[in-house]
Amino acid sequence: MPIADVLLHPEYKHFGVKSSVALLKLLTPLASNYMVPVCLPFRNFMLRPFKDYVEKLIYVDFVSEVPRDFLEEEKELVYLRMVPRERCIKHDNANESGLLPERHVCTTGCDLQSGAPTLVHEHTGHWNLFAMAEGGAPCPDPLRSRGPGTPSRHILMNPYVPWITTAISGQAIGSFSKDDPFGKYTCIL
């Protein structure tokens, strides 16, 4: 996949994984047996009740650790559940502030690869990009596990929608709010 350009979010961290969001522009369009159009989340995406996301989060990644062919390589789907913020904060690194940033959410699942998408398949049939994985703790040994493992963290995508749509369209931030009340510009095709 030859890359034409990379646009880093202003809060991008080169070292560490907090708020590490970037856009890649490919030289040529990509087509694959495993790809479908993915829509960016609506502005009020996280305002739905917590229970609406149970059994709907799907993590997508390559089956093999090092894919040989990005277009034809088989993908793996893992169904995730959101974890309450209190449990997620409990597992935070002691060197951090102890607060889970508002742009992050935790889920079940382990051994998640950073940057892999977490999707929601809506009742309308389209797919929403819910979050991007920040990685996950290794899966616990099932013979030694005494409780739930460390939750995996994800960067929520809805706070980044204005930046993404601005970067793609070249319009000023905020110009979509009056012209696009229902998010028609938020689907990547």
Contact 93, 153 (CB under 8 A): no
**What is the spatial distance between Cα 13 and Cα 127, in angstroms, rounded to a whole number?**
28
CA distances from 176 to 16, 42, 136, 170, 183 (A): 32, 12, 34, 11, 8
- What's the number of CA atoms in the CB half-sphere (13 Å) around residue 16? 7
Q: What is the mean pLDDT of each run of 10 residues along the chain (189 residues)?
A: 82 66 83 74 62 63 58 69 78 54 79 82 81 79 71 85 84 49 45
116-169 pLDDT, tens digit each? 888 887 778 888 888 888 877 777 777 776 666 778 888 888 888 888 888 888
Question: With pLDDT > 70 as the criterion, what percentage of the chain qualifies?
Answer: 60
Contact 118, 155 (CB under 8 A): no
Count CB neighbours of 159 within 10 A: 17
Domains and CATH numbers, the chain: 37-188 (2.40.10.10)
Q: What is this structure's pTM?
A: 0.72
Contact 57, 79 (CB under 8 A): yes
> In the prediction, which pLDDT does 181 show?
40
